[in-house]
Homo-oligomer: A and B are copies of this chain.
């Protein structure tokens, strides 16, 4: 029987994780939940974020998820322990996998983390990097999510903004590796690499979506209950706000159209 994997984010960004997962565990069925009515989580208290994330996790577990992926940096940083305590299934967050991959490829490296203001303020990446012997520096990039949600993923303005952020960061650190610490950022990964090169940096760019997906797939391939891969993975999407917006914007993140989104009410 195919495995069911629940993927949760406050919005659309986690669809970049789903996009990476689809070809990696092709036998799986995916349930994606975007808690779009209550985004952004970043400005809310830890207790509120934990309550929201636990409600979403319980919904996905009740719908039959065998494994849960928290494809949201804020929820991972602030609510991973609460989620693990609330559901009886394995839970993978988005931060540990990318830090482990970084440490394996670039042991003891200087790592520059690009993330939202909320993620930077949580210092979750910094803490995990230091635990793994990396030397982290964090740079908040608050305009990147709005620019990506505007659809300006290869746009002169986004190039300008990225150049400003990266120049400010490179003035303070000389990274061997740059971590894209937000699930929106894979859409501008090529732009990040180009801009780093223009600024004279040869840092390797690692995105948290791919690293997380690889981590989840490893946990299945090493498991005795690993599913036999079949041709196509399947997915269904749930959102707590406008399903039209989710289908439209989400398809950019998923890299394919989203034929159907079900509206979900998780309460205020």
Contact = CB atoms under 8 A, between A and B. Distances in A.
A39 B48 contact: no
Interface centre among A36, A44, A156, A157 (most CB of B within 10 A): A157
Count of chain copies: 2
Nearest to A152: B143
A268 interface: yes
A37 interface: yes
- State which size class the interface on A falls in: 20 to 34
Contacts of A161: 157
Interface string A149-165: 11000001100110010
A84 B244 CA distance: 32
Contact of A43 (B37, B44, B150): B37
Contact of A160 (B37, B48, B160, B241): B160
A45 interface: yes
A147 interface: yes
A89 to B, nearest CB: 26
A255 interface: no
Contacts of A37: 43-45, 48
Contact of A149 (B45, B142, B241, B268): B142
Nearest to A156: B160
Contact of A157 (B43, B45, B157): B157
Contacts of A149: 142
A200 interface: no
A259 interface: no
A190 to B, nearest CB: 20
A48 B265 CA distance: 12
A146 interface: yes
Contacts of A268: 48, 51, 268
A91 B104 CA distance: 61
B36 A43 contact: yes
Contacts of A147: 143
Contacts of A51: 268
Contacts of A150: 142-143
Contacts of A156: 160
A137 B157 CA distance: 25
14 contacts: A37-B43, A37-B44, A37-B45, A39-B43, A40-B40, A45-B241, A48-B268, A142-B146, A143-B146, A143-B147, A146-B146, A156-B160, A160-B160, A268-B268
Given A37-B45, A142-B146, 10 more contacts: A37-B44, A43-B241, A45-B241, A51-B268, A142-B149, A142-B150, A143-B143, A143-B147, A156-B160, A160-B160
